[in-house]
Amino acid sequence: MAEEVSRIGARSASRWKVRWITRRNRILGSPAFQKWSSRVWPMSMIARWKARWAFDLVAGFTYSQTLLACVESDLLALLSQGPVVLTEIAEHTGLSDAAALRLVRAAAAIELAQEVAPNQWMLGQQGAALHTNEGALAMVRHNRVLYRDLAEPLDLLRADRGKPTALSQFWHYAAEGDGEAASEYSQLMAQSQAMVCEQVLAAYDFSQHRSLLDVGGGHGRFAAGVVNAHPGLRIGILDLPPVLDGTSAWLGNQGLSERISLHPGDFFHSPLPSEYDCISLVRILHDHDDDEAVKLLTAIRKALPPGGRLLIAEPMADTRGAKGMGDAYFGLYLWAMNSGRPRSAEEIMAMLSAAGFSRSRQVKTHQPLVCSLIVSFL
Ligand SMILES: CC(C)=CCC/C(C)=C/CC/C(C)=C/C=C/C(C)=C/C=C/C=C(C)/C=C/C=C(C)/C=C/C=C(C)/C=C/CC(C)(C)O
Ligand SMILES: C[S@@+](CC[C@H](N)C(=O)[O-])C[C@H]1O[C@@H](n2cnc3c(N)ncnc32)[C@H](O)[C@@H]1O
C-alpha cells in the first residue's frame, strides 16, 4: 500500500480553478439556489437530474438489496415467463401476498419488473437485461460478502490492511490452496468470464499470433472462448495447482483437454513458460499491489520472445461514463479484499514501461464497464 501512496505526485491546482470550484460548491450547496433552480427552466431539468442522482446515492443499497431479493427468490425468472399475477409471485418466492407485492412494486420502481396491466407483472427493461446475464447475477449474489464488510465502511477503512475481512477470507482460502474454496471462487470467476471474453474477442484479433498463454486463467473459460474463435491457436493456462484441478475437469467435459495445455505454478515464484508469443492477464493485475504488479509484468516481459505481446484486460479506473465502477466499486472491493487497486489505463501503461515494455496502447472495447484492454509490445 505504501507504494501506492508514494506514487501520488503533488502539483498545485491553479488558483483560478480552486476559486471557481469553491464558488461553484458554495452555490450548489445553497438551499436558496437549489429552490430557485428547481423552479426555473431549463435549470429545473438539471436540478431534477442532480436531485435524483443524489437520492440514488443515498438509497443505492436498498436498490441493490431489492435486486438481490429478486435474484435469490428467482423472481426474475418467473417474470420472464409473464405476465404473472400476485398469487403466483407469492407462491414462487415463498413470500406472503403482502411481502410479494412490496417486493414486486420495489422491483418495478427500479425497472426490474413492470406492471403491464393491473396485477399483471412482467420483466422490466433492467430486469430483462440482467436476467440473461449469468455473470452479473453471480456477482449480485457474491456482493453480499462485500456488503458485509461495507456495513461499517469507516471501520473497514480504519482497520489495518491485512486484518481479515469477509471478502479477504473468501479469496484467501482459495489462494492458500484449499481445493473447495478454490473451486467456489473459480466458479464465480468462470460465470462472469463470458461477458469479459466477448469484449476482448471483439476488440483484439488473435489470429496474428501462433500461441497464447493465459496467466491466472482460472477454470479456462477465457482460453476456451479464444480457442473456439481461433482453432489454430496453441493455448496454455497458468494458474495455481488447486485451481487447475478444476480447470482440467472442465476442459475434459468440454472436449478441450487436447487443445489447451495446463501449467501449474505460482506466477510470483516460478518462471513463466517462454514458448508463447502472446500472454494475457485477464482480471489479474488489479488484484495486486503496485510492487507485485510490476514484478509480474517484468516476469512476463522476460518470458515473451522478441515481437511478443501482452494483453491486459480488466475493469479500469477513470473509465469515461463508468467512473463509479472504478474507484468506488472496485476501489472499495479491492480494499476489502486486502490486496490490489483499480488502476487507470495511464497508470497501467506507466507500470508496463517500468517493467521494460517499449510501448503500450489502449484498445477500445464496446462495454468498458465490463473491461478495458491494453496491448503492450516488447
Ligand atoms: C428496445 C428498447 C426499449 C430500447 C433500446 C435501447 C437500448 C439500445 C438498450 C440497450 C439494451 C442492452 C443491449 C443492454 C445491455 C445491457 C448490458 C450489457 C448490461 C450489462 C451489465 C453488466 C453488469 C451489471 C456487470 C456487473 C459486473 C460486476 C458487478 C462485476 C464484478 C466483478 C468482480 C467483483 C470481480 C472480482 C475479481 C477480482 C477479485 C477483482 O479480481
Ligand atoms: C480474479 S481471478 C481471474 C481468473 C480469470 N482470469 C478470469 O478473468 O475469470 C485471478 C486468478 O489468478 C490466479 N492467481 C492468483 N494468484 C496467483 C499466483 N500467484 N500464481 C498463479 N495464479 C494466481 C487465481 O487462482 C485466479 O484464477
Cα–Cα distance between 222 and 195 in angstroms, integer? 10
Per-position DSSP letters for 277-319, written without gaps between them: SEEEEES-GGGS-HHHHHHHHHHHHHHSPTT-EEEEEE--TT-
Q: Kindly report, residue by residue over 125-137, the tens digit of the pLDDT.
A: 999 999 999 999 9
DSSP state, residue 84: B
Q: Where are the alpha helices (DSSP H) in the chain?
A: 2-6, 15-29, 31-37, 43-72, 75-80, 86-93, 97-109, 125-131, 134-150, 153-158, 166-175, 179-191, 193-203, 221-229, 241-253, 290-303, 323, 331-336, 345-354
Question: Quick check: CB of 333 below 6 Å from ligand 1?
Answer: yes
Q: What is the pLDDT of residue 127?
A: 98
Q: Which atom of ligand 1 is nearest to the CA of 171?
A: 39
> What are 93-139's pLDDT values in tens digits?
999 999 999 999 999 999 999 999 999 999 999 999 999 999 999 99
Q: How many CB atoms lie within 10 A of CB 215?
A: 24
**Parallel, antiparallel or unpaired: strands 234-239 and 260-264:** parallel
| Residue corresponding to grid cell 477503512 | 157
Residue 184 pLDDT:
79
Higher-scoring residue by pLDDT: 257, 12: 257
Report the alpha-carbon distance of residue 108 to residue 79 in Å, rounded: 11
Q: What is the ipTM of this complex?
A: 0.93
Q: Is the pLDDT of residue 11 over 90?
A: no
Alpha-carbon distance of 219 to 240, in angstroms, equals 11
Cβ of 194 below 6 Å from ligand 1:
no
Ligand 2 in reach of 135 Cβ (< 6 A): no
Among 185, 283, 316, 337, residue to substitute to test ligand 1 (most atoms within 8 Å of Cβ): 283
CB 169 within 8 A of CB 149: no
Residue in 168, 178, 237, 240 to alter for ligand 2 test, most ligand atoms within 8 A of Cβ: 240
Q: What's the distance, CA 273 to chain centroid?
A: 28
| pLDDT one-digit tens code per residue, 275-301 | 999 999 999 999 999 999 999 999 999
Nearest to 222 by CA among 183, 250, 182: 250
Locus of grid cell 483499480: 342
Closest listed ligand to the CA of 311:
2
Task: Give the torsion sign (CA, 143, 145, 148, 153).
Answer: negative
CA distance 45 to 38: 8
**From the CB of 268, is ligand 2 less than 6 Å away?**
yes
Place of cell 474463435: 229
Point out the ligand 2 atom lying closest to the alpha carbon of residue 192.
Answer: 9
Amino acid 2: pLDDT: 60
Residue with cell 495447482: 241
Measure the CA–CA gap between 222 and 233, rounded to whole angstroms: 13
Separation CA 79–CA 195 (nearest Å) = 23
- 358 CA from centroid of ligand 2 (Å): 26
Q: How confident is residue 374, by pLDDT bands cut at 50, 70 and 90?
A: very high
φ, ψ of residue 151 in degrees (nearest 5) = -60, -35
From residue 225, how far is each of 25, 121, 174, 293, 371 by CA, in Å? 49, 36, 24, 26, 16
Among protein residues, the one whose CA lies closest to atom 12 of ligand 2: 216
Q: What is the pLDDT of residue 3?
A: 65
pTM to 2 decimals? 0.93
Q: Among all chains, which residue has been given the C-alpha cell 501520488?
A: 8
For 122, half-sphere exposure in the C-beta direction (CA atoms, 13 angstrom radius) is: 8
